[in-house]
Chain A
Amino acid sequence: MPPLPLPPTVPISWYLTLSAILFSLGIAGFLFRRSIITVFMSIELMLNAVNLSFITFSYKLKQVDGHIFSFFVMVVAAAEAAVGLAIILTVFKNRQTLEIDELDSLKN
């Protein structure tokens, strides 16, 4: 097996790029998925990407603040998940569907 053309360490920009890719994937999930729950999970994916970005910057700056920030993001995500899933429950109760495209009675 030929040695991988890899440096021993990776630049910070790679982490950041990974974060950007994950963020974009999150957006993509939001844009392309039709199940409300999956859409919601896409948001979680975006938040994860943000967290990666925070922690990467924290590494770069040698500060702990980024970690704190991502900690709060996690807490908020958890809270959001609770409320969001409750909302999804009520929607489902009323409409018996999780198709996001069917929730368009309010428009124009």
Chain B
Amino acid sequence: MLDLVLFLPLIGFFALLALPDTVSRKAALAISLVVFLLSLGLIGPVTANPGEYSFVINATWIDYPPIHYHVGIDGLSLWLVILSTLLTPIAILVSWKYIDHRVKMYYAFLLLLEFGVIGVFASLDMFLFYVFWEVSLVPMYFLIGIWGHERRIYAAVKFFLFTMAGSVLMLAAIVYLYNLTGSFDYATILDQLQSGRAVLTAQAQTLLFLAFFFSFAIKVPLFPLHTWLPDAHVEAPTAGSIMLASVMLKMGTYGLVRFCLPLFPEAAHKHAPWIAGLAVVGIVYGALVALVQPNMKKLVAYSSVSHLGFVVLGVFSFTQAGLDGAVYQMLNHGVSTGALFMLVGFLYERRHSLEISAYGGVATPAPQLAIIFLITTLASIGLPTLNNFVGEFLVLQGAAQANFSWVVFAAIGVILSACYMLWLYQRTFYGRASHDLAHHMPDLNQREWIAALPLLILMVWMGTYTQSFMPPISAQNARILEKVNKGGTALAKTPTQAPAVKEVADAR
């Protein structure tokens, strides 16, 4: 099953290159839909046993050094994989009319990207992880570079170099771990480190942690490593932005949760204060800068910086709530920011401008678009009953348990998110539409509705009935935390308050 989910996009990539341009988008859509449906089959077994890896395949790839094709899905990666498989057909649908040159390459790259990101989430071998990590880079580079806007080259190169600069350090760290443990297998390495069979000095642990951390932090992106993101988003085509924001950024946060924390718990604890500090700065900073962007995509991009600050904050709170919230927030951000980019793309297809000032009064000619945009906006600013609220609440709750002062500042980001999103909405949709604008602004068509609807449903679903999604995440996070907080250092660091925390909670 996982094999199919993983390799069908790759097969699709080659198939598309072989097929003529005319059928490529239909073929791509069909393939991605099949992949999505297949990926739904992952849910049952994984949720049944979320703490363990399901669908494990462990085949030798290279004998020496022992590199294995070792993949599997657990509660942490399950939804991220499904998010990827869901967003790919949506991205294809969104591009349906927009992409008019080098069509088959475009869809082929989208499928290759899907292959890469699913691989990242499914890899249980560090080397394999790195391979997929890099492989996912290439199609995105081309997506931005070929089908992007005016400054696409700068953006594409910047994107590639930033990520590359981070990932080489990760490679060094992976190799170092291999030399230490003789294995690339994540579970083996983890086991050896946990059991003390492989011993890292404090300095080595710190350096390794930082190597991993920086490569992930660039991808996240964490302030102040974020400047590639606005450029990449602004220049990328709509589908590129969707995949970038929804899936690729999650690779970074996923890496933090999957690798940084369990492998180097002491270092993670030691460095958590400034990392969380950066996360908080990022939350506020991203929001403030988003506030003053004249360009919609840039605005949404900076809002991503802000939102992902929450994720990082949650991760480095080392609390169950924080971690659960962080993972949930990854999904939420994927859904709602993906939708935002999609909607901005719809606007762009109609008006061919990303400047907010080119719009105004769109709600009159295109009320349906306005409504969807509004719902997405509300999701993005964390309105309860919509998805982001749950994630932000848990993150902040967890962070509050770790250090209340972080939360005081982070919560300012929540205020600011309302400011920039509503202001954007006001400037774009409210007011009177000029004649010219109204003329170019047909309401949503059926295809666009089909693309948008799943995300809208998810926003509400994930906001109201979290139990459909949360249990596997929670279960796996609990296991991670068990490893990370072995010394129980996280909660002990909050001496001010803690009388009731450890009591059994709500006895409803």
- Establish whether A and B are touching in the complex (CB under 8 Å): no
Binding site for B on A (CB under 8 A): none
Binding site for A on B (CB under 8 A): none
